[in-house]
Structure 1
Amino acid sequence: MSVTGPAPDHPGDRADVELRLPADGAYVSVLRTTTAGLAARLDFPIDDIEDLRIAVGEASAMVLPEADPEGDLLCRFYLRPGELTVALGVTSTSAIPAPDYDSFAWQVLTTLATSAEATAGDGVFSVSLTMVPGHLGAGL
């Protein structure tokens, strides 16, 4: 089954980069490295790049447990001058719980990212985060 979402922050926009990986934690390092490379391309400072890598790891920790066996993790990257949005999503044929905004992963994610959003519905669980260099996270 393929993931049709996520793109909550950029409806109608085509992702600049799209990466489809097996929905398995073993591939999160590939996602984190890709994220860091794209942030470097946008001239993000090294501290913000590392914060973004950690935030993407936490977003992955939120969505991967909900993925169907043998499913995909779809990651879309939207590059704008001075801004990077990463949207991650998985499909699930089982009931998807509402996002846990009290979880450790969500707290870390919203502390590090400039903004973040989690959505569940229509068989897709997704997390989207945006980083603008020098801006404090949404959770602060």
Structure 2
Amino acid sequence: MRLTIPAAGAYLVVLRTATASLAARADFTLDDIEDLRIAVDEACALLLVSAVPGSALECVFTLSPGLLRVTVSVDSFDGEPPSKDTFAWTVLSALAGEVASSTGPGRRVTIALAKRRGDRG
């Protein structure tokens, strides 16, 4: 599933709700669902800091048995991925289990995360 929303904090509730709904349909535990909601919110917050005004934030959800992958990307001013030496990245990694960032094409920055059902990070 692919969702595209304006790159503004006011619209993140849409992604948090979609994340929770997909995780619930995939029989994730309540703790896993909450971890995913917070992780997606945190990933978006990291990206929005350098998002080009008026750009779109794209979120792709991929479900497979016992696994939910979420990829969030945005066009940024500098094309630099978020620093992995921050408290925010540590929290994101603990909540999601698997986290990676990448850049390109152009100045597009992406954060990809994956959560396995029952994995407490």
Q: Would the TM-score normalized by the shorter structure come out above 0.5?
A: yes
User: Shift of residue 99 of structure 1?
Assistant: 2.5
Uncovered stretches (5+) of structure 2, i.e. residues with no partner: none
Distance in 2 (alpha carbons) for counterparts of 1:103 and 1:26: 24
Partner residue in 1 for 2:80: 97
3-state SS of paired residue (1:63)? helix
Percent identical across equivalent pairs?
47
For 1:4, the equivalent position in structure 2 comes to none
Question: In 2, distance between residues paired with 1:132 and 1:98?
Answer: 24
Q: Provide Cα deviations, 1:11-62, integer angstroms capped at 9, x if missing partner.
A: xxxxxx0000000001111100100000001000111000110111110111
In the TM superposition, 1:1-140 aligns within 5 A as 17-92=1-76, 94-121=77-104, 122-137=106-121
**What is the one-letter code of the residue matched to 2:114?**
T
Q: In 1, Cα distance between the equivalents of 2:10 and 2:45? A: 11
* TM-score normalized with structure 2 length: 0.93
TM-score (ref. length: structure 1): 0.81
Distance 1:58 1:21 in 2: 16
Question: Which residue does 1:10 correspond to in 2?
Answer: none
Tell me which protein shows more helix as a share of its residues: 2
